[in-house]
Every structure is written in structure tokens, then in C-alpha cells.
A and B are shown apart, each in its own frame.
Chain A
């Protein structure tokens, strides 16, 4: 039945020109880049202005100088958070695209990916091979393992807990997904605690290199500070960009991508065109899960420890990012993730600084994320890049 299997090497569509190939694969990336630069510039200017306005109120430290001196680090943090949310949000948005269903368990898929990486590194460390494996090979192997584990897990969850409910009322699969996410948390905890890895499992890595100094910034006549990016953040950003590029290729160029988009647009018609809808949905879960798993490994690598409950908040925020960008829209998920990541990084770093530590930045950053979700849903439910969709009767 599957059209891909039977058509053979003969292409059904005309060969696409090199130019359209480049624009379909790298166009969304350029959009993301525009949002990265835009968010960083606007938010950076905003905090500098606020700092300048508040400068007179504090005598203990020079607020403006303090603001500017941490700015590069905040921007790197925003990029990492942004790509974290973007890679997780892709899973939400792809599944929502084909099924119109919020895969609540996706945050836990991310968590399982992080644990797959932690188990891998622990096994390597136990056999003494951790430092023998070069950093590049280690990152590659861990990420691929996380992708495989999470992708297959997401696919089996779809088979067991969602497929039987495909024609049920909307809330039924959602409740099932909530159940799955709780089950995954506890099963992972059971495995982690009893395998000797522990509840807070440490994610060991080989020496990934010292922070890379990008330049020096003059903040006062007699003081310069280095602008640097630590290697883990750099790895995160590079791998995330590679994955996103790969996804663009897969969805926009290959026949499988065409099938996925067809199913997202109109499931019954797609099935009449000879597309095996069940298979496409399973593959969508596989791809979304694999992206989430890779994000989990990268996150665990950067943070250093993982626990069974780390999936909840990033999952929720990635969902926010998906809605922010326009749910169902793949470029939108990346853009939404970037914007949300930058906003959070700025709030987390500057709120305490501006309020003299009266409000703890990281906690209120969560509140900011949810407020954005609510505001977006009220004023622009279609998101930044989404199209306006009317509800079908």
C-alpha cells in the first residue's frame, strides 16, 4: 500500500532546482536566524535602557556596567534555551500537525533520552573508555543512542496508548497521554534508582575542552572582560542546528516528508491517495521522539545531572513555544522556541539584578513563560507564524 515502496526509483515530481532545494532546506533556518538576532537586539537594548533608567537608584554597584558585562553570557544562555525548546517543540508541533492532539508525554520522552545518554556515559565510565573516546565520537554516539531510544519509545507509546483512541472524543487521548507521562516518570525512576545510577544521575562526559573565547569587551577604561562560550553550549547549538536542518530536508524534500504534510493537511484524502496513514503517524512520532531524545541528551550533557522529573517543565515550555510559533507549523516551533528561550534567559538573569534580589529570577521566568502562553492564546491564537484556522463544526 505504501506509495514509497512501490514507485521505485522513478521520481513522480520533476527534479527540483538547486535554488529551490536550498531555499526549502535553509530558508526556515534564515528565518530562525532573523528571530535570533531580532530577539537578542531588542531584549539587549531593553535591559540596557532599564539599567540606565535605574542607574541612580543603586549606589552599591554600577548597574549599567553590571548589565552589560553579563549580556554576552545571557545571550548564549538564551540561544541554548531557545534551541532546547525548539527541538522539543518540534515533536509537539509535528504530532499536533498530523493528529491535532497534544502529546502530553513528550516531555517525558525528552527525559528518557537524557537518561539514555546518562546510562551510556555511566557504562563508558565504568569500563574506563570514557576518555578514550574522543569528544566528537562521544557526543555523536550519545545523541544517536538517545534519538534511537526516545524515537522508538514514542512510536510504541503511540501504538499502545493513542492509536486505540484515535476516533474517541478529544479529551480521551489527552487524558491517556497524561497517564503515560506519569507512568514513564515512575518507571524511569524505578530503573534509575535500582540500577545504581541514582535518582539524580550524573551525566559524565569526557573533557570537552575549555570555553572558547570569542573576543574581548571593553566595559570601562581600565577593564575588559572576555566574551566566551563554553564548549557544551556550543555543542548544543551546533547539534541542534544540524538536526533542524536535517528535519527541514526530511519534511520539505523527501517523499516521506510529502506524505507527512499530506496527512497533516487532510488525513482521509491522504489515505485515498495511497498513503499508509498509520505508518506516517508512527514515523511522525518516531521523528518527534528522536528530536526530543537528542535534546534530552544534549541537555543532560550541559547540565551534568538528570532526574526522572526533568521532563515536565521543559515539556510544558516547549509546548508554549510551539503555540507561540503557531502549532502545527515546523518553522514556527523553532521561532517560538528561540523567542521564548531568549525571554526566559533575560528574565532569569536580570529580574534579580533589577529588583535587588527581591524576586528570584529563575522562578519568575517560569511564570513569564506561562503568561506568554496565555497572552498568545488570547490575542493571537494562531501564533507568530501560524495561519488563522476556524474550528470545524
Chain B
């Protein structure tokens, strides 16, 4: 027993030593740069679609979190991040259009997850119908930019693409409006009731989207809306000036990539500032203890409504972008599974933690869109070669299983998420403090404290 402990102690001290060396002086700069260079070179030199490149893309996105965590100067982090996301990724995207699409989706879901994180993580309101607001934004632009609008307002012609920019703002406002409208009746409810009611509301929006093709054809029912308008490519001369000779599809891919990147950056900024404001502290108070928060004079319903509206407004804007990106929307896109998927991103990363939520979004999106289908196709190749793999085993078909296991396992073993917020980690582990688990955790902060003065 004691020998085991000693050995474990040696391991931790070795790990601590390693961290200390890697985190002191110029080492983190060199290591991060080396990692960045190797991954970028791998990406740019071998842009074929395959399992190997998949792995490198995952490493590339994890690099963002290495940069975020590395004990280096802020200016260095920002420069490196900008170069990687602003130059390397787009160039790779031109070479291989498949991956930039996945990365754009990951960015979009990261933005959505950050919005849900405001509701679930900051204010502690479990919203299972989050995708309803996403649907509202998507249908808003979908209806106004297609002949669908002529059915509702006779004589009105579809808006052209340049209105897209205005609709980003309108999507924000309409999302917030829906958040308030749906939130007003239900926010007085206790947590678990709220979860079920929001789930019901999400279903209502989906049922309405399916059935509002009669008596007036608003949503075109189950067929969905196709040929949704796209914003004009005002950057086209810029691409030409850079000597890029790429198709319109690829131009749009890059365009949406940068758009999503920009929106994501804005979202992070807004969410971060909100969390550290008076409002953010009020949300924390509500989440931790409603009764105490009321006693301290926090306007409960107003603050909950605000959280709901902020989350919903992000979803509304992302919905507008989503419909323009996909150019096709239909009701099944906005089902419960999508809401749960976004929720599992927040939970995997860590409720209330901004970098955690983004990490969760990247992991879940990559798993969902890229790795599972890839593993499935690799397995079927192996199968054809005669390796005994049962034919029913198709990982791409089991998203529900993936999300479900993710939720259960995270709740049982690490409810605070991968990159937890400090307060929540303390809250969820206050019971095990006298237990041995606490001993294992204690050396970690001590080790972390050492390199801090150097940075």
C-alpha cells in the first residue's frame, strides 16, 4: 500500500518536474512553436483526405488549447493563434475543401455551445430546447431570402444576399425576443421542470416548422426550404489579388470560415465580459443558491430572462449563418438530438468554462462529423479485406449512443468537465476533500504555481 503510494508520488513528482522544465524560460515558446510547425507542415504537405490527415487536424485544433494553456506571453499566443487560424488553416482549406467545412462547423457549434453555456453553465438553467432558437434564426433568413416570403406577404420579393448582414443583427434580436417570450412563462419553474418544459418547447417549434405549410405556406413543411440566399462575395477581388484561382464554392467556404471565426471571437469576448460583470456574478449567485440570491437582492426572474435571451440571441445569429451556409433547411435538422449534442459539448468541456466549452464543441463536432464516419469507412475497408468485423458495426450510425455515453460517463466520473471552471470544481468535489482523491489533486496546483512567476 505504502509502496504503491510512494511510486505514485514519484510519478507525480516526475510529471511535476517535467511540467516545470517545459514551463520555464524559453522552453514553452520553443515547444509550442515546434509543435505548431510540425503540425502545420504535416497539414500542408499532405492534404489528402484520410485517417492520417484526420488525426493531424485533431492535433491542429488541440494546438489551439496548448497555446491557450502554455505559460507564454499573451502577444506570442495571439500572434501564433492568428497565423495558424488566419493563414495556415485557410491555405490548407484551399488544398482540401473537406476539412475547412468541418472546421467551420466546429466553429459554429463552438459559438452555439458558448451561448448555451451562458444559460446552463453561468445561470444554471438546464435548457433542452436550445435548438429552437437556432431554428428560429435559420427559418428567419430562410423565409426572407427565398420565394417563401411571397406566400406570407403577397407581392414581396425575396431579399437579395446583401441583406444577410442586417439579418445577422435581426437574427440576434429575434432570437432574444423568442428567448424572452418562451422564458417568461417557464422561468419561474424549478430546475428540473424547466428542463422538461424547454424540451417540450423545442419540440413545439419543430412540430410547427413541419406543419406550418397549411393554411398559409410559411415553412414549406417537411420538404424544407432550399436555395436559401447567400451573402455577396465582396472578398472575391481580394482572393483574385492574392493569386488564388479557386471555384465559387471554395470561395464561399473560405468566406464562411472567416465569418464564423469572427463571430466566434466576438462571442468569446462578449461571454467573457458578461461572466466577469455584475450580471455574471448575479448569474453565479442564482446558480449556486436561488434563495440566497433573492435575499441578496438579485432580481431573479429578470436575470434568468437575461441569461435566456443572451443564449437565444447567439443561437438566432448562428441560425442565420447556418441557413446561408447550408442553403437548405428542414425540420429534422432542428430535432432534440441537436439540442442534446450541443448540451453534451458544454458538459464535456465543463459547464461555465469558456475554453472548456469550446474544447467540448471541437471534440464533439470532430467526432460526429469526421472521426466516426472515417472510422466507419476504414472498418468497412478492413471488412472487405476479410478482417472479421461484424457488418452491423457502423460507428457513424450511433451518434445517440456516443452522446448518451458521453453524458452518463461525464456525470458519473467528472461532472465538472474536461477544463472545469474553478468554482464548479470546488463545488463538485467538496465532499471528497478528506478522501484520498484530494491528495492526488493537491500536488497539481503546487506544481502549477512554480512556473507562474516566470510567465
Contact = CB atoms under 8 A, between A and B. Distances in A.
A58 B428 CA distance: 64
B403 A179 contact: yes
Contacts of A161: 408, 411-412
Contacts of A320: 200
A363 to B, nearest CB: 5
Interface string B394-438: 000010110111111101100100000000000110010000000
A178 B129 CA distance: 13
A179 B411 contact: yes
28 contacts: A102-B192, A161-B408, A164-B412, A169-B428, A170-B192, A171-B126, A171-B191, A174-B126, A178-B340, A178-B343, A179-B406, A180-B408, A182-B337, A183-B405, A183-B408, A186-B398, A190-B401, A316-B199, A355-B215, A363-B210, A364-B211, A366-B204, A374-B201, A377-B186, A377-B189, A381-B193, A391-B190, A391-B291
A179 B211 contact: no
Contact of B185 (A101, A167, A355, A374): A374
Interface string B178-222: 000000011011111101110111011001101100110000000
A360 B211 CA distance: 7
Contacts of A373: 196-197, 200
Contacts of A319: 196
Given A190-B401, A319-B196, 10 more contacts: A161-B408, A165-B412, A175-B126, A178-B340, A182-B404, A194-B392, A316-B196, A373-B196, A378-B186, A381-B189
B400 A167 contact: no
Given A178-B340, A373-B200, A381-B189, A186 B400 contact: yes
A17 to B, nearest CB: 40
A364 B390 CA distance: 42
Interface residues of A, number: 51
Pick from A182, A194, A370, A371 the residue with the most CB of B within 10 Å.
A182
By DSSP majority rule, is chain B's interface helix, strand, loop, or mixed? helix
Which of B343, B401, B409 has the largest number of chain A CB atoms within 10 A?
B401
Interface string A173-192: 11110111111111100100
Q: Identify which of A161, A174, A175, A193 gathers the most chain B CB atoms within 10 Å of its CB.
A: A175
B214 A370 contact: no
A181 B126 contact: no
Contact of A179 (B190, B192, B398, B407): B407
Contact of B186 (A171, A173, A312, A374): A374
B220 to A, nearest CB: 15
A377 B192 CA distance: 12
A366 B204 CA distance: 8
Q: 3 closest Cβ contacts across the A-B interface?
A: A179-B407, A182-B404, A183-B404
Interface in A157-215: 161, 164-165, 167-176, 178-187, 190, 193-194
Contacts of A187: 401
A323 interface: yes
A210 to B, nearest CB: 36
Nearest to A187: B401
B124 interface: yes
B116 interface: no
A180 B404 contact: yes
Nearest to B398: A186
Nearest to B347: A175
> Secondary structure at chain A's binding surface: helix, strand, loop or mixed?
helix
Contact of A167 (B203, B405, B412, B431): B431
A367 interface: yes
A393 interface: yes
B411 A193 contact: no
A21 interface: no
Nearest to A182: B404
Contact of B291 (A193, A358, A374, A393): A393
Nearest to B202: A370
A169 B423 CA distance: 14
Contacts of B174: none
**Most chain B CB neighbours (cut-off 10 Å) among A101, A178, A193, A320:** A178
A194 B190 CA distance: 42
Contacts of A193: 392
Residue of A101, A168, A320, A374 contacting most chain B CB atoms (<10 Å): A374
Nearest to A176: B411
Given A165-B412, A171-B126, A377-B193, A183 B204 contact: no
Nearest to B291: A393
Interface in A271-313: 312
A181 B128 CA distance: 14
A326 to B, nearest CB: 13
B392 A370 contact: no
B10 to A, nearest CB: 31
B197 to A, nearest CB: 6
Interface in A358-391: 358-360, 363-364, 366-367, 370-371, 373-374, 377-378, 381, 391
B367 interface: no
Nearest to A360: B211
